[in-house]
Structure formats: C-alpha cells, structure tokens
A = this chain, B = another copy of it.
Amino acid sequence: MEKVFIVGVGLTKIGRFYNRSAASLFREALERAVSDAGGLKPRALVVGNMTSSVLMQQDSLGALLADHSGLRGIPAFKVEAACGSGGAAFYSGYSLVKSGLADVVAVGGVEKLTEANTPVVTRALAQAADADFEVFYGATFTGLNAMLARLYMEKFGYTEEDLSYWPLRMHEYASHNPYAQLPKKTSLKEILESPVIAEPIRLYHAAPIGDGAAVVLLVRGEEKAREIARQTGKDVLVEVAGVALATDSVDLASRNDLLTLESTVKASRAALEMAGVEAGKVDYVELHDAFHVTGFASLEDLGFAPKGEAPRLWKEGRFGKGDKPEVNFSGGLKARGHPVGATGIYQIAEAAMQLRGDFPGFKASSPETALTHNIGGISTIAAVTVLRRVK
C-alpha cells in the first residue's frame, strides 16, 4: 500500500479567547493548514475533541466544524479519547487515507474551555477518570495525578525541587514559541513558590487550561506529496512512518503497576515497530506532560530512560539541544499549553515542522525521525506517532 504524508499544518495560538468560538478557532487552523499545502482541499475531516458535549452542549461536532470551515458535505466525525482525542483522531484519519476511503484527509483537534468557570471545567476534565469508581468519590484529575506524583517521589527518592526542573525547561522553550499559551521564562523559585493545587502538585507543575485548534493534512502516495512540496517550496517530505494506539483501565485501582504507563509502553513499541525504528534512533520527541510526573514517566515508558531515572537524567541536562532524543522544544503541554483534544495534533504539527526545519520556535538539530506521544486519562489511552523526514 502507498505511504501517507503530512503536507500541511495549521495552528492557532493557545490562550483564553473569550470572544472566539470553537468553530472560529478551528477554521483559522484549517485555513492555515490548507494554505501551507498550497490550497489543497480536504475531502474528509476527523476531529479530536473532549469537552464539546459538556461545555458547549454541542454534539455533531465534526459536521459543525466542516460546515463552518466551508467544507459542508464532506465525511466528518468526532473522535473522543479524553485528552488523547487528538492522537486517536490522527490514528483514525491515517486509516481513512491509507485505506483509500479519502485521498486528502484533514485531522484536527479543537478545545474551547474558556467561558466555563473553573469548577465546571475541573468537573468536565475529571470525565477522563472513572465516573463510578473515582469521580463519584470526589477525585479530580489533578488529584489523581497528585497521588501518582507522591508515589513516584517516594518510590524513586525525588524531591519537589527535583521534579520542578521539568516546568523550568518547558517555560524556557515556550518563550520562543509564537503559538504557546505561556511564552514566559520562569525560575525554580517561582515554581516552588507557586500555589499548591493538589499537594504535591503546584500551579507551575501543571499544564494550563486553554483554548486552541490544530489541523494537519494527510495525503496518500509519495508522488502526490512531492508535487505539493514542489508547489509550496518545501525541500523535504514528512512521512507518517508509524501510528499506534493502546489502552489501559480507566480506573487506577485495577492497574498492575501504578507507575508504569502500560499503554504508553505498548503504543510506543508498536509505532516504532511499524516504522522499523528503534527507540535509540529517534531524534526528536513531543511527549505528553500534563503534569511534571507525566513528563518524566512518559520519557521512561516511551523507552528513552530507565524507570525512575528520568528526573535525574533531566536535571543533568539530558534531552536538551544536541542530545538524542531532543524533547518538547514546543514547551510541552506545560507551557505551550494543553487545549485537550487539540494537543495531540499540536504535537504532530510541531514535530512535522521540526523535520521540515521551519518550526518558528526553539529549533531541533535537523532531526530525521520524530515521535509524538499523546495520552488520555493517566495513559488510559496512548497514541504514538512516528514521523520521518524524506528528502
């Protein structure tokens, strides 16, 4: 079967847009992706989104966004996998184009959290956890991650300060990213003095709440991809070399090992195997760091650090510019932002731009292979994508 390529990417800045609708944000991202691909028109649309049913009281989101983006009529639907909705939508969109059902597929993500007040948003995001076994008893999503962070710190012997090097570096990277929600540098002092939101997680240890939309355009066949690259003056192609999804229980109590994100392990192995790449050969990574602990555990479970070692390696400067892999130069969920269902598409678009060499923020060292990692819940679902630069 023919290979699949990313031929266009479009992002909005992430922020709190009280005067913008989800459809307006989505249209902006889609138009940028279409323009990036030289005007190529999508023939199908898959949208990742978590909260539209609860916060916008709107279903039929796929059709709505297609219509409001000038694409009324095309096949369109929404994929939901909590915070991993974008990654899952990409997996679905990849299969649409790969199978021949559509020859140009737009995969997008959008989330609109602004306008709802904080308790309502907190409640909506908690729907990533188990309604009957966790949320019913008062758990919030941050609360569950706080328990995990405490366990990780105790088991592997880390302090609050050790884990704070994650957000420190993410803010540094984000300060270069024009799409980032928090493009400001910070300091260990500022991080450690920020308010506790669920002990031991402080405000600066967690991704912010924000609105945003991201779109990538997929086509089938190297010839088609090369034609578009020529038209748009790009000298490399971005091939989708591997895609994988894996799941775990929603409720944490029934997990085998709380500190191993098993679906991340599985999806990473499967996507790398599909791409024919070993973890050690990956040059660039965008991974899911909704909290500091999520970032470190993901680095380990993706296969880039031994279990329990990531914070130590990170503090020593590993995974930065010139290392292998280079990680989260976007600023990550922590500082680029985390518009939930759109996050997985932001990561893929950023990785694609790093491969092309035109990411408008902190630049990777000319990577050839990139991996993105997007999760829903505490890796209840994990979506891993491997991208390859083709000359």
- The chain A residues found within 8 Å of chain B, CB to CB, are 1, 21, 44, 46, 50-51, 53-54, 56-64, 66-67, 72-82, 85, 88, 91-92, 94-96, 98-101, 123, 127-128, 130-132, 135, 243-250, 254, 262-263, 266, 376-377, 380-381
* Residue pair A72, B249 in contact (C-beta under 8 Å): yes
Determine how close the nearest CB of chain B comes to the CB of A234; give it in whole angstroms. 26
Residue of A66, A67, A100, A247 with most chain B CB atoms under a 10 A cut-off: A247
* Residue pair B63, A81 in contact (C-beta under 8 Å): yes
CA distance A106 to B301 in the complex (A): 28
Given that A94-B99, A95-B92, A99-B1 are known contacts, is A381 also in contact with B62, CB under 8 Å in the complex? yes
* Residue pair A54, B56 in contact (C-beta under 8 Å): no
* Residue pair B101, A95 in contact (C-beta under 8 Å): yes
Chain B residues with CB under 8 A of A78? 79-81
* Residue pair A63, B248 in contact (C-beta under 8 Å): yes
Chain B residues with CB under 8 A of A51? 53
CA distance A81 to B80 in the complex (A): 11
Q: Find the B residue at minimum CB distance from A274.
A: B101
Chain B residues with CB under 8 A of A128? 59-60
Chain B residues with CB under 8 A of A54? 53-54
* Residue pair B247, A62 in contact (C-beta under 8 Å): yes
Q: Find the B residue at minimum CB distance from A80.
A: B78
Q: Find the B residue at minimum CB distance from A48.
A: B77
**Cβ-defined partner of A50 (8 Å) among B59, B94, B262:** B59
